[in-house]
Copies of this chain bind each other. A is one copy, B any other.
Amino acid sequence: MNFKIKKEYLFKHLNYVIKGISNKNIRPILNCIKFDLEKDGLYLSSTDNEIAIKTFIDKKYIEENYTCGKFVVFGKYIYEIIRKLPNEIISIEEVMNSKIFISTTNSSFSLNCNNVDEFPSLELEENKNPIILSNKVLKNIFNQTAFAASTSETRPAITGINFKIKNNILECTATDSYRLAKKTIILDESVKEDINIIIPTKNLIELSKMFSDDEEQVEIHIFNNKVIFKFETIIMLSRLINGTYPDVSKLIPTEFLLKITINMNEFYSLLDRVSLFSTEEEKNTIKLECVDNTVTVKSDIPEIGNVVEKIEVQKNNKENIKIAFSSKYMMDAIKVIDSENIELSFNGEIKPIIIKNPEDENLTQLIVPIKTY
């Protein structure tokens, strides 16, 4: 096998498949990238058994007169070599003794290869009726929910994002059991069978890093134990998390004692200052009190000092509220809302706080209060 290709084309695609490699893997073959040069072009693939990525470079990007073949090579090394080479034509050639030889005018690298037959087969089959969403919509879903997923392995089910589809309604939920973020999307077509799967959060973050800035359609093929995303020249597989996702539908109330509307930027800066006097050991607890149209937010560390902040708000009625919560969770929630105002809804000091963009019904966030008053 030998071929020549411009650095930028090869590097663009190595940037995709490098995300399928976890460097912690003790099986060397799972730290490798497979090169498969066929008549129609070059296929690159990688897998760490939890995730698999395959991408394709059309033969029009490859210099003429190549000979087909396959090899499997250390992902980290081929990636760094190509990254550091100048943007010239790079020649890659398989030589005897399972080695490849990478060269430009002044540089020559020799890299040992692994056995092609040991590379796992990726099983990237398709489904008849994939769900189709744009990369922008998917990226937005991940940005607005992933941060709320649990990072503790004690309950694996909630370390992922739950994708639930009934008819044409997709609900994506993430929670760590102290807070929750739920995004609802209306699909163009209804599904025939209900879907309820859990996708590992970190795989979805890697996926969204591969999306280009242009709007592109993403096909989502769902199977029993895996999900496959197809877009541009890329196929990505993610294993699913086994287990039952908690039923969160009853957690989110539809009626509230009090709704307040606050300027988002001002409230975020206020929280940032109040959080100075909250500590991780105390769950970043801060106290909020709403009397008439004034919200007062307080916090203190007895040996250091205290802070009291005030902000004017709009209310939907004359109720008042006194409640404590994590400043970090509230700031995380606000950060993903893109709007001038946010709406906080309360049902009392021991009931969850609901955070919304008043102009967007599709994103609902919830924070469980902390009992201190």
Contact = CB atoms under 8 A, between A and B. Distances in A.
B305 A84 contact: no
A137 interface: no
Interface in A126-163: none
B304 A106 contact: no
A12 interface: no
B106 A310 contact: yes
A173 to B, nearest CB: 33
A201 to B, nearest CB: 30
A106 B85 CA distance: 56
A306 B84 contact: no
A110 interface: yes
Given A107-B309, A309-B106, A84 B272 contact: yes
A87 to B, nearest CB: 12
A96 to B, nearest CB: 14
B77 A107 contact: no
Contact of A74 (B106, B109, B304): B304
Interface string A103-117: 000111111100000
A99 interface: yes
Contact of A276 (B81, B112, B305, B309): B81
Interface string A347-370: 000000000000000000000000
A112 B308 contact: no
A77 B304 CA distance: 8
Interface string A300-333: 0001111111110000000000000000000000
Contacts of A108: 307-309
A86 interface: yes
A276 B82 CA distance: 11
A212 interface: no
A81 B276 CA distance: 8
A269 interface: yes
A270 B99 CA distance: 22
A164 interface: no
Contacts of A6: none
B276 A77 contact: yes
Contacts of A107: 270, 273, 307-310
Interface in A274-319: 276, 303-311
A80 interface: yes
Nearest to A74: B304
A276 B111 contact: no
B106 A305 contact: no
Contact of A109 (B111, B307, B311): B307
A321 to B, nearest CB: 19
26 contacts: A74-B304, A77-B305, A80-B276, A81-B273, A81-B276, A81-B307, A84-B269, A84-B272, A84-B273, A85-B273, A86-B269, A99-B305, A106-B310, A107-B270, A107-B308, A107-B309, A107-B310, A108-B307, A108-B309, A109-B305, A109-B306, A110-B305, A110-B307, A111-B305, A112-B303, A112-B304
Given A84-B272, A106-B311, A109-B305, 7 more contacts: A81-B273, A107-B309, A108-B308, A109-B308, A110-B306, A111-B304, A112-B305
